[in-house]
Amino acid sequence: MLPALIARLGAHRVLTAREDIIPYGFDGTATLKQVPAAVVFPASAEDVSFVLRLAREHGAPVVARGSGTGLSGGSVPMAGGIVLCLAKMDRVLEIDTANLTLRAEAGAITQKIYEAADAAGLFYPPDPGSMKISTIGGNVAENSGGLRGLKYGVTRDYVMGLEVVLADGAICWLGSKCVKDVAGYNLRDLFIGSEGTLGVVTQVLLKLLPRPAARRTLLATFTSMEAAAAAVSAIIAAKVIPCTLEFLDRKTLACVEDFARVGLPRDAEAVLLVETDGHPAAADDEAAAVESICRTGGAAVVRRAADAAEAARLASARRSAFSALARLRPTTILEDVTVPRSELAGMVRAVQIIAERHGLQIATFGHFGDGNLHPTILTDERDTAEMHRVELALAEIVAETLRRGGTITGEHGVGLAKKPFLRRQLGDASFELLRLVKRALDPDGRLNPGKIFD
């Protein structure tokens, strides 16, 4: 198989030396890893098709990946085989200002797409935490979210079309530049979030929006978590939908302040970071409404960012939460449970009780506006006894989430990390339906085997 790969792609696009391929054996979880047999770098959909046909002949599993920033083990090559790294297919191919679309290769960095749109006065809203290094293909594979989900939705909401290479090597275009298109089943959305188990995405056609004219940033601190959650409910009840509505608990707060030094108050029990955007009058009115609701709801401090620089400092402090927490203990496990918005306060409290019961350090931050929480377990994978308690705590967090009508993963994907819990969330009928679809599209189980389900 290797000679054929080298003949097609050239030796510089095929890695097999152990020291070269180790970096392609893990993702952002860091705890899940496995060394593949080879790593190849296709330059086109036709290259990808070639690799898939070759893998089929040789019975080799294929795991597609981009930058490997995933947080559920979705791109970890557990079954060995070939890693198909799309990082070199990284061009933004077209910005169509008449149709408000952008077409890019799957390996294009999300930040580069955001900037290309911005340069044309347009806006690509999805902003996963890893956007400076993650690829758009990875975002599509995991249906990545981000901080703007409440108002703007997630990656799926901006994908108009995909070029996908199927397990048998066939190359398909799914979707078009048409805003409305109901010709045949919507298979585009089936591939979005399928974690590389149904096909390999090689090109994406994205929808862009006009860039919002104004943005206002507020910070509100609360002396109780319940008060912060009640303020979020009151904001939504007032029919205000901010662009971002982020939450940090006391533990995260202190840690971020140590790390970023932006003047966050260390004594608050909870902090909300709120951004409104759009027409300047709308952004102002919404910011004023949020401020008034927070004050009425007992916020200790409400501070408006004086200028764009302060707003950027606050946003970047929030974005540093995971990195800041990761410094505290050798192992950081970032959870991704999500509940309906009305269940937020109860869920955060439940996580705190679970942490206390098992004697664990769990800091929680996340996207309060869309119910997406990131309880972050700070631990040490070398400590077997503690890791056992971590397992128990994770199972309890998942059970609590499902009891509240939530989901085991809001934006990170099932991958390996959430596989044990999927059937419980979906129920038998829906779970079997997933397997039916997998068998139809990848009958030999060649694409990213062992992910999502066994």
Residues between 419 and 448 with contacts to a second copy, criterion CB under 8 A: 422, 425-427, 429-434, 436-441
3-state secondary structure of 43: coil
What residues have CB less than 8 Å from 449, skipping those under 6 apart?
A: 61, 78, 79
Contact 109, 177 (CB under 8 A): no
Q: How far apart are CA 405 and CA 400, in angstroms?
A: 9
Kindly state whether residue 193 participates in binding a second copy, applying the rule CB under 8 A: yes
Kindly state whether residue 182 participates in binding a second copy, applying the rule CB under 8 A: yes
Write the Ramachandran bin of 239: left for phi over 0, alpha for psi from -120 to 50, otherwise beta.
Answer: left
β-pair partners for 214: 278
Stretch that binds a second copy, among 75-83, 96-104, 299-307, 384-392 (CB under 8 A): 96-104
* Residues 279-318 contacting a second copy, CB under 8 A: 279-282, 285
The least CB distance from residue 159 to a second copy, in Å, is: 11
Kindly state whether residue 367 participates in binding a second copy, applying the rule CB under 8 A: yes
Stretch that binds a second copy, among 58-66, 236-244, 262-270, 290-298 (CB under 8 A): 236-244
Give the DSSP per-residue string, 402-440. Answer: HHTT-BS-SSS--TTTTGGGHHHHH-HHHHHHHHHHHHH
Neighbours of 189 (CB within 10 A): 15
Pairing of strands 372-379, 361-367: antiparallel
* Residues 195-214 contacting a second copy, CB under 8 A: 198, 209-211
The least CB distance from residue 382 to a second copy, in Å, is: 31
The least CB distance from residue 63 to a second copy, in Å, is: 18
The least CB distance from residue 239 to a second copy, in Å, is: 3
The least CB distance from residue 285 to a second copy, in Å, is: 7
40 exposed, middle or buried (CB, 10 Å; 0-12, 13-18, 19+)? buried
Kindly state whether residue 99 participates in binding a second copy, applying the rule CB under 8 A: yes
Stretch that binds a second copy, among 40-48, 55-63, 166-174, 298-306 (CB under 8 A): 166-174
Name which position in 327, 340, 357, 380 contacts a second copy (CB under 8 A): 340
Name which position in 410, 447, 448, 449 contacts a second copy (CB under 8 A): 410
Q: Which is nearer to a second copy, 157 or 258 (CB)?
A: 157
Give the DSSP per-residue string, 336-400. Answer: --B--GGGHHHHHHHHHHHHHHTT-EEEEEEEGGGTEEEEEEEE-TT-HHHHHHHHHHHHHHHHH
Contact 228, 270 (CB under 8 A): yes
The least CB distance from residue 68 to a second copy, in Å, is: 18
* Residues 106-135 contacting a second copy, CB under 8 A: 121-122
Residue type, 387: M
The least CB distance from residue 15 to a second copy, in Å, is: 30
What residues have CB less than 8 Å from 264, skipping those under 6 apart?
A: 219, 248, 253, 256, 257, 271, 317
Kindly state whether residue 54 participates in binding a second copy, applying the rule CB under 8 A: no
Name which position in 96, 118, 267, 444 contacts a second copy (CB under 8 A): 96
The least CB distance from residue 349 to a second copy, in Å, is: 17
* Residues 345-364 contacting a second copy, CB under 8 A: none
Q: How far apart are CA 138 and CA 204, in angstroms?
A: 11
Stretch that binds a second copy, among 79-87, 263-271, 325-333, 411-419 (CB under 8 A): 411-419
**Among candidate residues 286, 317, 287, the one with its CA nearest the CA of residue 302:** 287
Name which position in 11, 91, 173, 316 contacts a second copy (CB under 8 A): 173
β-pair partners for 63: 83
